[in-house]
């Protein structure tokens, strides 16, 4: 067997295992893949993880909860629902802050830096779309809580919530989009 010129195949030594067998080929479906049966819809509720924030937040005080209306948004339908824009006109009564005009957005309306973007449960929100993004919160589970994005499917939501329970991460909307028996 040591010579390369011989055309006779060498027998396999007894101490070597036999070569692995190939798996059978996958069946060929002429009319597409077989249809999956619809699974029974059941209400699944997940046990929420009891995670407390690292620091108990002081009372969250908002100086203003109402949105600032754009000037003349009550007069013209085309700007009825638009966000705040600063008036820039030379004669604008809102810009000149006349009595009786709508208030302008200013830095003084800002929230306390310690409670800015803080949720009432004491955590900061972190949007999550998959399990990999959830694992970024592993070391920060006392400061941030996960919030599953609105466009995540029910199947992926279950995976995210199960993994969050393992990592001890709070999910603020864990029970959202879960199907119940009535929906089926």
Over residues 90-99, mean pLDDT:
97
| Cβ count within 10 A of residue 182 | 7
Q: Is the pLDDT of residue 76 over 50?
A: yes
More confident residue, 63 or 11: 63
**Which pLDDT score, from 0 to 100, does residue 24 have?**
75
Over residues 124-134, mean pLDDT:
96
Task: Please answer whether residues 114 and 53 qualify as being in contact, where contact means their C-beta atoms are separated by less than 8 angstroms.
Answer: no
Q: Is the pLDDT of residue 139 over 70?
A: yes
Q: pLDDT (tens digit, 9 = 90+) per residue, 6-27?
A: 555 566 566 777 777 877 777 7
Over residues 41-65, mean pLDDT:
75
- For residues 124 and 102, give the distance between their C-alpha atoms in angstroms, rounded to a whole number: 32
- For residues 134 and 160, give the distance between their C-alpha atoms in angstroms, rounded to a whole number: 7
Over residues 55-62, mean pLDDT:
85
Q: Is the pLDDT of residue 44 over 70?
A: no
Over residues 39-60, mean pLDDT:
70
**Which pLDDT score, from 0 to 100, does residue 12 have?**
55
- For residues 170 and 79, give the distance between their C-alpha atoms in angstroms, rounded to a whole number: 39
């Amino acid at each position: 067997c040591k010579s390369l010129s011989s055309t006779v195949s060498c027998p396999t030594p007894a101490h070597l295992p036999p070569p692995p067998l190939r798996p059978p080929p996958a069946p060929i479906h002429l009319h597409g893949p077989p249809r999956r049966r619809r699974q029974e819809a059941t209400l699944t509720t997940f046990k929420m993880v009891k995670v407390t924030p690292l620091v108990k937040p002081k009372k969250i005080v908002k100086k203003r909860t109402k949105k600032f209306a754009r000037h003349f948004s009550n007069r013209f339908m085309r700007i009825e629902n638009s966000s705040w824009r600063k008036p820039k006109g030379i004669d604008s009564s809102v810009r000149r802050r006349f009595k009786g005009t709508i208030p302008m957005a200013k830095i003084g309306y800002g929230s306390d830096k310690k409670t800015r973007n803080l949720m009432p449960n004491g955590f900061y929100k972190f949007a999550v779309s998959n399990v990999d993004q959830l694992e970024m919160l592993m070391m920060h589970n006392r400061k941030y809580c996960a919030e599953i994005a609105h466009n995540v499917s029910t199947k992926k939501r279950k995976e995210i919530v199960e993994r969050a329970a393992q990592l001890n991460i709070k999910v603020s909307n864990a029970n959202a989009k879960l199907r119940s028996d009535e929906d089926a």
